[in-house]
C-alpha cells in the first residue's frame, strides 16, 4: 500500500470508499467527484475492495491515490468467504487511518455500513451516500437492521433526490446532492430523420430493476407500425440470457440488439433518436440526464425516484405511470410517429445541464465537506 503524500494540500485530505470502480452510475459519479476534488487542490485517496488486478472502468486522475484492499470474496469456498467478511472492517479501518483523512466519503449502502463500522472510535467524520432508492435495496434483514443502527453515526447522509428523505430517521443529518449531468463534448444532430433506420435506445445494467423486460413487451406491438425502427439496449448483467430469450419469444430478434457495455455514453447516445428509461426503481438515473443533455427526446416510467425531478411531463420529456406497459407503448408510439414532437422535447431536454452542472454539484460537495470537518473540530 503506497504511503500518503507528506505535505498537506490547501484544502485537506479526503478518502473515498467504494466496493469497486466497475461500470455503473455510482462508480462514474464517484470517479468524477474524486477527479474534480483532486484538480481543486484536495489530497484524494480511493479505497476499493478489489485486488487492483483489473483497471478501473472509469479513468482516475493521476493525482488520485488508489489503494485496492483485496477484500472481495472471490474463490475459496465458505470459510474463505467468512474470513474475508470479518476481515473487511479491520483492514478498512487500518487503511483509513493510514490515509489520514479530514473526512471519509463512502458510496453505496453495504459499503456505507462497513465504513461506519470500521471507523467506530476514530475521530473522523464519515459522509455516506445512498446511490439508489433505499426502499428497494437488495440486502438481507441483518444488513437492514445494521443500516438503521450505524447510519446514525454518520456526519451526513447524502441523498440524490428529495423523494427518499423520509425513508431515514429524522435524527440523521441529510443533504440532497444530485448527480452531475455533463455537457456533451460534441455537437451532433438531435434527429437522424434523414436516415432510413431510426434507433430507440436504452442503457443500464441488465438486471430486473432496470425493467428491460417491460420495455421489450412495450416495443413488441410497434414493430409492424414502424418497420424502420430498431431498439438497442446497452449494458451487461445477469439478465442478458433471459432478456435475449424474451426478445426471441416476442419475435424481435431482428429488431432488438444488445451491444454490451460502452464507456462513451454521449457518443453512443448521439446515434439514437429516442431514449427510454424503463426502470422499476432508480436513485438519480444518470443515463436519463445524459440522454437529455444530448438533446434526445426521452420517455421514462415515473418510478421511485428521480425521473419526476428531472422531467416535466410534456415539456422536456414524457412520463409514464410505473410499470405500465401499455402506456409506455403508447408514449413511444407518439414519439416514433412525430419528428416535430421529438425535436421539440429534445430541444427542451438539453437545458438539464443548467440545473445539474458539474461545477454546481462539486461545489455542493465541497461545502458539505467543509461543514462536517469544521463541526468535528468544535
- The answer on pLDDT for 62 being more than 90 is yes
Do 166 and 216 sit in the same domain of this protein? no
Residue range 187-243, pLDDT digits in tens: 544 444 445 689 999 999 999 999 999 999 999 999 889 999 999 999 999 999 999
Q: Report the CATH number that the domain containing residue 117 is assigned in CATH.
A: 3.40.50.2000
Query: Is residue 210 left, alpha or beta, with left meaning phi > 0 and alpha meaning psi from -120 to 50?
Result: alpha
The answer to whether the beta carbons of residues 330 and 309 sit under 8 Å apart is no
Q: What is the pLDDT of residue 186?
A: 58
Q: Would residue 1 count as lying in a domain? A: no
Residue range 343-369, pLDDT digits in tens: 999 999 999 999 999 999 999 999 999
* Mean residue pLDDT across the chain: 89
The answer to whether the beta carbons of residues 175 and 157 sit under 8 Å apart is yes
Angstrom distance (rounded) from CA 132 to CA 228: 36
Do 73 and 219 sit in the same domain of this protein? no
Q: What is the pLDDT of residue 322?
A: 96
The tally of domains found in the chain comes to 2
Average pLDDT over residues 252-266: 94
Q: Would residue 190 count as lying in a domain? A: no
Q: Which of 47, 95, 223, 155 is nearest to 376 (CA)?
A: 155
Q: Would residue 8 count as lying in a domain? A: no
Do 346 and 365 sit in the same domain of this protein? no
Do 350 and 220 sit in the same domain of this protein? yes
Do 206 and 333 sit in the same domain of this protein? yes
Average pLDDT over residues 100-118: 95
Do 138 and 237 sit in the same domain of this protein? no
- The answer on pLDDT for 20 being more than 80 is yes
Picking from 108-122, 186-200, 257-271, 297-311, which range would have the lowest pLDDT averaged per residue? 186-200
- The answer on pLDDT for 185 being more than 80 is no
Per-residue H/E/C for the chain: CCCCCCCCCCCCEEEEEECCCCCCHHHHHHHHHHHHHHHCCCEEEEEECCCCCCCCCCCCCCCCEEEECCCCCCCCHHHHHHHHHHHHHHHHHHHHHHHCCCEEEEECHHHHHHHHHHCCCCCCCEEEECCCCHHHCCCCHHHHHHHHHHHHHCCEEEECCHHHHHHCCCCCCEEECCCCCCCCCCCCCCCCCCCCCEEEEEECCCCHHHCHHHHHHHHHHHCCCCCCEEEEEECCCCCHHHHHHHHHHCCCCCCEEEEECCCCHHHHHCCCCEEEECCCCCCCCHHHHHHHHCCCCEEEECCCCCHHHHCCECCCEEEECCCCHHHHHHHHHHHHHCHHHHHHHHHHHCCHHHHCCHHHHHHHHHHHHHHHHHHHHC
Do 229 and 116 sit in the same domain of this protein? no
In the chain, what is the straight-line distance between the N-terminal and C-terminal CA atoms, in Å? 32
Do 129 and 215 sit in the same domain of this protein? no
Q: Would residue 325 count as lying in a domain? A: yes
Picking from 36-40, 108-112, 159-163, which range would have the lowest pLDDT averaged per residue? 159-163
Do 347 and 364 sit in the same domain of this protein? no
Q: What is the pLDDT of residue 80?
A: 58
Q: What is the pLDDT of residue 10?
A: 61
Q: Would residue 186 count as lying in a domain? A: no
Range of the domain at 328: 198-355
Angstrom distance (rounded) from CA 327 to CA 313: 14
- Give percent above pLDDT 90 in the chain: 71
Do 281 and 327 sit in the same domain of this protein? yes
Q: pTM for this structure? A: 0.83
Do 38 and 116 sit in the same domain of this protein? yes
**pLDDT band, residue 293 (cuts 50/70/90):** very high
Do 233 and 128 sit in the same domain of this protein? no
Average pLDDT over residues 296-303: 97
Q: How far is CA 364 from CA 22, 189, 196, in A?
A: 25, 32, 45
Q: Would residue 192 count as lying in a domain? A: no
Residue range 313-345, pLDDT digits in tens: 999 999 999 999 999 999 999 999 999 999 999
- The answer on pLDDT for 299 being more than 50 is yes
Q: Would residue 291 count as lying in a domain? A: yes
Q: Would residue 4 count as lying in a domain? A: no
Amino acid at each position: 500500500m503506497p504511503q500518503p503524500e507528506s505535505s498537506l494540500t490547501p484544502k485537506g485530505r479526503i478518502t473515498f470508499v467504494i466496493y469497486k470502480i466497475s461500470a455503473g452510475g455510482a462508480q462514474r459519479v464517484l470517479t468524477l467527484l474524486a477527479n474534480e476534488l483532486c484538480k481543486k487542490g484536495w489530497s484524494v485517496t480511493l479505497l476499493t475492495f478489489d485486488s487492483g488486478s483489473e483497471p478501473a472502468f472509469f479513468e482516475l486522475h493521476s493525482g488520485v491515490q488508489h489503494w485496492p484492499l483485496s477484500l472481495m470474496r472471490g474463490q475459496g469456498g465458505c470459510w474463505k468467504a467468512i474470513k474475508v467478511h470479518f476481515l473487511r472492517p479491520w483492514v478498512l479501518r487500518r487503511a483509513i487511518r493510514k490515509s489520514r483523512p479530514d473526512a471519509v466519503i463512502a458510496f453505496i449502502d453495504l459499503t456505507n455500513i462497513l465504513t461506519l463500522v470500521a471507523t467506530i472510535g476514530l475521530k473522523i467524520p464519515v459522509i455516506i451516500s445512498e446511490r439508489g432508492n433505499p426502499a428497494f435495496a437488495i440486502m438481507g434483514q441483518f444488513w437492514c437492521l445494521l443500516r438503521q443502527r450505524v447510519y446514525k453515526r454518520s456526519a451526513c447522509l447524502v441523498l440524490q433526490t428529495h423523494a427518499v428523505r423520509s425513508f431515514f430517521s429524522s435524527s440523521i443529518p441529510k443533504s440532497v446532492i444530485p448527480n452531475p449531468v455533463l455537457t456533451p463534448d460534441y455537437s451532433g444532430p438531435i434527429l437522424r430523420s434523414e436516415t432510413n433506420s431510426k434507433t430507440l435506445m436504452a442503457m443500464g445494467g441488465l438486471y430486473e430493476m432496470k425493467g428491460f423486460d417491460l420495455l421489450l413487451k412495450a416495443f413488441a406491438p410497434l414493430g409492424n407500425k414502424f418497420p424502420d425502427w430498431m431498439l438497442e439496449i446497452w449494458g451487461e448483467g445477469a439478465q442478458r440470457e433471459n432478456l435475449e430469450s424474451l426478445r426471441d419469444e416476442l419475435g424481435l430478434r431482428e429488431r432488438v440488439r444488445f451491444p454490451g457495455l460502452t464507456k462513451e455514453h454521449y457518443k453512443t447516445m448521439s446515434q439514437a433518436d429516442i431514449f427510454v428509461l424503463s426502470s422499476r426503481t432508480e436513485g438519480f438515473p444518470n443515463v436519463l440526464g445524459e440522454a437529455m443533455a444530448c438533446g434526445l427526446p426521452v420517455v421514462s416510467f415515473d418510478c421511485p425516484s428521480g425521473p419526476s425531478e428531472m422531467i416535466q411531463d410534456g415539456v422536456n420529456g414524457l412520463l409514464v405511470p410505473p410499470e405500465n406497459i401499455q402506456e409506455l407503448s403508447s408514449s413511444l408510439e407518439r414519439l416514433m410517429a412525430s419528428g416535430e414532437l421529438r425535436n421539440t422535447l429534445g430541444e427542451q431536454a438539453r437545458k438539464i445541464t443548467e440545473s445539474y452542472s458539474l461545477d454546481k454539484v462539486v461545489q455542493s460537495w465541497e461545502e458539505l465537506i467543509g461543514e462536517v470537518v469544521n463541526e468535528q473540530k468544535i
